[in-house]
Amino acid sequence: MNELPERDLPPGRHHLLKEHLLTEIRQEQKDQKRNEKRAKSWFRPALLAGAVAATVVAGVLVASPFGDRAAQAGPPSKETVRMLEEIAAAAKAQPAQKGVRDDQYVYIKSKAGYMATTVSKDGEKSEIEPVRPREVWQSVDGLHDEMLHEPDGGFQYERMEADPPLVEGDDHYRSLQKLPTDPVNMLDWLHKVSDGGESEDQNTFVLVGDLSYESLMPPEQAAALYLAASKIPGVELVEDAVDAEGRHGVAIAREDDGIRQELIFDKKTKQFLGEREVAVEDLPTGFKKGTVVGRSAILERTVVDKLGERP
């Protein structure tokens, strides 16, 4: 296997790079059964990279030693809690998917571009990648092959072979249906399965973003997820944020290591739109305070019958 360059990954980047890493791992050990750690990397996107950053070296991820500057953050403001309660109420009011079969697929169409830092023998280079279209077909039960289509990123209908058994923390629809429907137990679950950086609170917030972005949360569990987020220290409200599609919304955010990660919701419907990452100080990578270093947008999310089928 060719050695991969070292790369620092911002919070939102891990759910976009997991397929590439895992393809490398499969190629390296195609005749061996993956151990539990690698299984968790596939089924738990929040574990694939640190809550702030991670390093990829020859297909292995190592958590960044960066500290959490929001470690002593206080509880969310009343305004933030109120907004998350409205978001939770809107999620709960969504009609539940009916008649979903185990052999079906969750189809998600999106676009995204994030900051990438490449370390090679010629030195370190940081850049903000262009926004790229992306489609995923995720198995409802996690026991069927899956697919990624991100041609601008080098993935032409990349097929991912199913590799059961599943582990706690996987993000397939059947597993999400089993999650707690009350915020206290949901928060306990988030703390239990999230990992990556040194800050447990940031790890938990990153996992909230992962579940909002590239999975299909059932209404009851989605409501519990956002109510649980209202209990994470350091979470704040951003009145106006713009996703990768140019849509304005209100954001639930948290700052960590000089970057504010924003989960953006439609101001009227309170539906999840996408993410944005903004430098809140001058970064060691050379980007100045106020620079948007990552953005994404969900364009479509539904259930389809076949792998590769579009709505």
pLDDT in tens, 138-192: 999 999 999 999 999 889 999 999 888 788 888 999 999 999 999 999 999 999 9
State the Cα–Cα distance between residues 120 and 60, nearest whole angstrom.
Answer: 16
What tens digit of pLDDT does each residue of 247-267 get? 999 999 999 999 999 999 999
What tens digit of pLDDT does each residue of 273-311 get? 999 999 999 999 999 999 999 999 999 999 999 999 999
* Pair 196, 51: CB distance under 8 Å: yes
Scan for tokens 């697929």, then name that residue: 105
Residue 8 predicted with pLDDT over 60: no
What tens digit of pLDDT does each residue of 214-254 get? 999 999 999 999 999 999 999 999 999 999 999 999 999 99
pLDDT class for 15, splitting at 50, 70, 90?
Answer: low
